[in-house]
Amino acid sequence: MFSNRLPPYAEINPLSRMMASLQAAGVGITDLTESNPTAVGLSYPDAIFESLGAGESRRYAPQPLGLAVARETVATDYRRRGAIVDPSQVVLSASSSEAYSWIFKLLCDPGDAVLVPQPSYPLFEHLTRLEAVQAVPYHLAYQGRWEIDFDALIKAPTNVRAVLIVSPNNPTGSYVTRDEARRLTEICQSRGWAVVADEVFADYPLDISAPPTESVLNLDVLSFTLGGASKSLGLPQIKLGWMVVGGPAPQRGRALAALELIADTFLSVSTPVQQAAPALLTMGKAVRDQIRARTATNLAVARDIVREHPACSALPVEGGWSLVVRVPAILPEEALALALLEHERVLVHPGYFFDLAHEAFIVVSLIPRSDEFADAFARTLRFAAAPVSPSNGHRR
């Protein structure tokens, strides 16, 4: 019998079911939800992978918070974004998901709650439930840009232990501004909350001239700032994540001591990837540059295509590699996504997947190959303006 901590998996997503059926039949699909950087034709220097076999990888001498060489490399890398980080505040993990798990173990007892942004990627529901923690949503309000609804935060229940922010958010692409971070700090100080700041997409600004560089790193509240190789280096397969523990020294010290015990229990980060960290983070620039060029190109193309379809609009996006597009509410979002897959062989995310407040939205990734993106996105908007009903096959 399954634990009630597990998310419900009884019902298979209809889009996933149709996608699997088409793939089994050998039907070609253009996946505009693709977020795997290793699957979109980027060029990776061979030396990146060769570095994993170099150094002292044959010797196992684990350090719970991470080998000094890797923690120092991560701390140094933060200088690219203007942040000064002490290596002693860096904790390595196998991924940002594992880092969340450790933070929830640290901060929460079973039944406690954390505040999570809405809209956002539907990961928090699973991570919190697996730790017997409640995910309580707080809204991002759209008023020309996405902003934290502080009224919702103030009304949060008493069992909250932390507030999660994602900057830039996935999928809205909105950064948490310095003013928002300062106001958030005041609320957290008064409530005794920690801040967990997910900055995995922070290396990919788009429509913002000076993105925030230190969302919580230098604020006077216990904080955990997350990053990782999956996005910063375009290397999800090497399994290297990190967090920076910030805030007042006494709280920070206690948190690091507890995290050391948690990390020592698992020792999940491999020695080869830690030894290779200096080379990986140096050579990762070549991959980041390609991703930045790809997202900028696809965003410009998407906006040109949107201008040809007055019934559609692309919402502003400040960073990351997703784009939210408002489309005519002729069909429900899921029905539209299913019809697109069936008739155009294009896969998009319906807006509800990210808990967008109302219909009708689709969400697409900006990292697919540019020629495939342009063709599939144009067909998507043409179809959205006059969709085929999935029930009768006729134009609505």
Ordered structural domains, the chain, with CATH: 14-43+284-385 (3.90.1150.10), 47-283 (3.40.640.10)
DSSP 309: -
pLDDT of residue 51: 87
pLDDT at 84 over 80: yes
Give the model confidence (pLDDT) of 229-257 as tens digits.
999 999 999 999 999 999 999 999 999 99
360: CB partners within 8 A, 6+ apart = 326, 327, 328, 329, 330, 331, 332, 333, 336, 351
Report residue 57 as tokens.
């990888």
Give the model confidence (pLDDT) of 339-396 as tens digits.
999 999 999 999 999 999 888 999 999 999 999 999 999 999 999 988 776 554 544 4
* Region 3-23 average pLDDT: 69
* Region 135-156 average pLDDT: 92
pTM: 0.92
| pLDDT classification of 212: cutoffs 50, 70, 90 | low
| pLDDT classification of 6: cutoffs 50, 70, 90 | low
- Angle subtended at Cα 346 by Cα 342 and Cα 350, rounded to the nearest 5 degrees: 90
DSSP 116: E
pLDDT of residue 7: 52
- 108 closest CA partner among 85, 128, 78: 128
Torsion of CA 83, 150, 165, 132, to 10 degrees: 140
350 sits in which H/E element: strand 349-350
b (16+ CB within 10 A) / e for 198-228: bbbbbbbbbebeebbbbbbbebebbbbbbbb
pLDDT of residue 10: 39
Q: How far is CA 118 from CA 48, 147, 304, 342, in A?
A: 36, 11, 28, 29
Report residue 114 as tokens.
């954390």
Give the model confidence (pLDDT) of 363-379 as tens digits.
999 999 999 999 999 99
pLDDT of residue 325: 97
Give the model confidence (pLDDT) of 164-192 as tens digits.
999 999 999 999 988 899 899 999 999 99
More confident residue, 395 or 259: 259
More confident residue, 62 or 215: 62
Q: For the ranges 60-69, 202-211, 217-226, 271-280, which has the lowest average pLDDT?
A: 202-211
pLDDT of residue 226: 96
